[in-house]
Amino acid sequence: MSDVKNSVGDKMFRSLAAIEPHEKKAVILGMLGFFCLFGSYSIVKPVRDAMGTVYGIENLQELFTGTFIMSFIFAPIYSALAARVKLSIFLPWVYIFIGATLLGFFALFGLESDRWTAAAFYIWVSTFNVLIISVLWSFLADIFSRQQAKRLFGFIAAGITVGGIAGPAAAAVLVKNVGNGTLMVISAAGFILTAFIVRLLTAEKARMMALAGVEAQQTTVNHTLPGNPLDGFKLLFKSPYLLLLAAFLLLMTWISTVVYFQLGDMITKSFPSREARTQAYAVLDLIVNCAAVFLQLFGTGKIIKRFGVTTGLLLNPVIMVFAFMALILSPVFTVLAGMQIIRRVAEYAVAKPAREMLFTVVDQNSKYKAKNVIDTVVYRFGDVSSAWVSSFILPFGVAGLAVFGLVVCVFWFPIAWKLGKRYESAREGTL
């Protein structure tokens, strides 16, 4: 009977995303890891966004600056720890540490909840939110080969989306009854569970490597990463490919920040209380993730297989050109909300998995160290630079910000094209 069940399950996974039987456990664990991880973050994300409004939407650029500084400090610490602790131990402890800090903020909010406490919480959550996703994607790029990633990464990313559905739904339902503090405790428990799943993935990576004739990355995590705390920066600036990747992410971040400022301005004007703003952000997140999950489960792998990674990278620049034009013509909340939903669905379902596939062709040191710098320091530099520009443009309204977004897209498109072509012509481990 169990063989029949396994056969049916294998056929189902093959039909969904061409998942081979030996890949099934790692794929399921990857999805579960992202579900717990992004679900936990999505619970606390509306709390963070609401705390940003407590500090003052007109001063968000200051919080973005603090986040960039924190990310710049944290990146070398991450590399230094990775050089001293075996990856098999280090990776789970990243998530245990994040959970512990949330419990610390829970205790702090019980003592005081002023503007500066809100700022500290906003900066810390904004520092770790890209790190936690980056670390797990680095690990998955260290498990699956390039060809496997094209088939599997979109499907695995559905775990992020389902977690993004469960998290905002929980936040929206619970916040008025239990308050923001209890949401942080629930989120902390999810991060600790993620650490356990990462440990299981470590064992699964070793099992896949031991299988004869099975395609997988031939690297282990039973060692430290050589080098010093600044290696991530050195690897980045030595590689034209990684610099292209960094430029792509930088411009993508500029677009995200422009939309974030537009949305924050409108939500602040529309919802008077912290809890109402938390609920508004949570509902928007819920809509985005509900729309994205179907595409990730049934479409991403087929889109990448049919049209290639380059098309996946180009999708968002093309969408945003039309979205910003619509917003210039009609700068109202319904257009902005629709634009945000379309942008994030395309990013989560296609652009994000495509971008993570780009790291399957770099060496292991670059997967963890250079990727960490790109996903944290470069990302947050994009945030802070765009935030200051957006703060100067904000008095001209959402239409003025849309014009700035259009200009960014003009540069974003050719970089996405060149990056995709470079990846398609590369061999694994050569970039």
Render pLDDT for 338-367 as a digit per residue (tens, 0 to 9).
777 888 888 888 888 888 999 988 999 999
- Look at 375 and 21; give whichever has higher pLDDT: 375
Alpha carbon distance, N-terminus to C-terminus of the chain: 47
Percent of the chain with pLDDT strictly greater than 70: 89
User: Where does the pLDDT of residue 324 fall: very low under 50, low under 70, confident under 90, or very high at 90 and above?
Assistant: confident
Express each pLDDT in 255-276 by its tens digit: 887 777 777 777 777 777 666 7
Structural domains present in the chain: 16-213+220-424 (1.20.1250.20)
Residue 34 has pLDDT above 90, yes or no: yes
Average pLDDT, stretch 286-300?
A: 76
Residue 4 has pLDDT above 50, yes or no: no
Whole-model pTM: value is: 0.81
Which helix (H) or strand (E) segment holds residue 325: the answer is helix 309-329
Q: What is the pLDDT of residue 427?
A: 61
Q: In the predicted model, what is the mean pLDDT of the chain?
A: 82
Residue 330 has pLDDT above 80, yes or no: no
User: Where does the pLDDT of residue 1 fall: very low under 50, low under 70, confident under 90, or very high at 90 and above?
Assistant: very low
Q: Is 7 exposed, middle or buried (0-12, 13-18, 19+ CB in 10 A)?
A: exposed
Query: By the 8 A CB rule, do 236 and 246 touch?
Result: yes
Query: By the 8 A CB rule, do 180 and 48 touch?
Result: no
Express each pLDDT in 186-244 by its tens digit: 889 999 999 999 999 999 998 888 775 667 677 888 888 888 888 899 999 999 999 99
Which residue has tokens 């710049």?
72
Q: What whole-number distance in Å separates Cα of residue 414 and Cα of residue 379?
A: 19
